[in-house]
Every structure is written in C-alpha cells, then in structure tokens.
Amino acid sequence: MATIGQRNRLQFIILGLLNQQPQTGYDLAKAFENEIGEFWQAQHSQIYPMLKRLEAAGEITHEDTVTGEKLAKKQYTLTPTGREKLVAWVSQPSPELTPNKDEFILKLYFIKDVDDPRIQPMLREQYRLHQAQLAHLQQRQATVFPDTSTIDQAYGHYLILDHAIAREAHYVSWLTQYLTPED
C-alpha cells in the first residue's frame, strides 16, 4: 500500500518548466497564466510549497540572488534526480483521458428546450468569450512564431499553442452551428 496512487502532476510540470531553464516561483506562476495555462493551472500558493517539497526531495535546488538593492529571488534548478524523474514521467504512457469540465455545456444540457429564449444569448456570450480567446492565442502565435523557421526552436511551445488554437477554433465553430442570426 505505497507508491501507487501517484497523481500530483503539478510536481512534474514544475520539473518540466525548470528543465527548460532555471527560474523563480514567480516565473513559474506566470508560466501557468500563459501557454501552459491552456492545459494546466496553478496559483503561486500552490507553487511555493511544492518547490520546497521538491527541494527537500533533492529534485531541485535553488540559488539566492538579489535584484536591485535587496529584492530577494530564488532561482530554482533541476538536479540530476529531478531530471530523471521528469524523463520517467514524460516517457510513461498517459492512459487516462484527463477529465474535462465545462459549465456552459452543462447549462445548455439542463435547459433542454430548443426554443428556450435563454439559449441564444448564452450561445452568443460563449461565442464572444471563445472568439476573444482564439484571437488572443492567434495574436500570440503570430508574435512568437513570425515564420515557420522559428517553429523548431520551440517546438513544444508551438504544439501547445497550435492545440489551444485548434481547440478554441473548433469550439467557436461548434457554437456557430447553433447560433441563429441576431437581429
């Protein structure tokens, strides 16, 4: 009865991010707001304690630095142990479909009636949201990958953006199918 129910993906994601480059807890928190945020989320209140746990386990180490006069930063780096653990996680199959949640779809589900007057406004609201998100992601892609030659330098980043864009575009097109022209 040990070592079985290993969830806790956050630790691996942090290892993965630190493998790209040494960085601070603050930097990690920002990463969860940007690209990574499309596929995983974590607040700084979850990140800082996890960094301590990982360091205690010998998977990362930190170096104290100071910006300006006295602003203290902790730059975290992967140890060989940490890198091993990361590689093991990445290489191991992901046989479960990560559960998806979508409050909006559930609301539609509960309304049931095709002609309920609430449906169209709700669809339009979602349309706006996802459309905006799509535009934002496309903007990002255009900035980060101005031409195809830049893709290989950050292929993982490209993949994640590509997937997020595809997902949003598809969501928008699904919504469109049920939208009636607004007059």
Counting residues that bind a second copy (by CB under 8 A) gives 57
State which of residues 14, 36, 42, 161 lies at the interface with DNA (CB under 7 A): 42
SS3 of the chain: the string is: CCCCCCCCCHHHHHHHHHHHCCECHHHHHHHCCCHHHHCCCCCHHHHHHHHHHHHHCCCEEEEEEEECCCEEEEEEEECHHHHHHHHHHHHCCCCCCCCCCCHHHHHHHHHCCCCCCCHHHHHHHHHHHHHHHHHHHHHHHHHHCCCHHHCHHHHHHHHHHHHHHHHHHHHHHHHHHHCCCCC
> Per CB under 7 A, does 55 bind DNA?
no
Q: How far is the CB of 119 from DNA (least distance, A)?
A: 25
Residues 115-174 that bind a second copy (CB under 8 A): 118, 122, 125-126, 129-130, 133, 152, 154-157, 159-160, 163, 166-167, 170, 174
> Per CB under 8 A, does 103 bind a second copy?
yes
Interface residues with DNA (CB under 7 A)? 1, 4-5, 7-10, 24-27, 29-30, 41-46, 48-49, 51-52, 66-74, 99
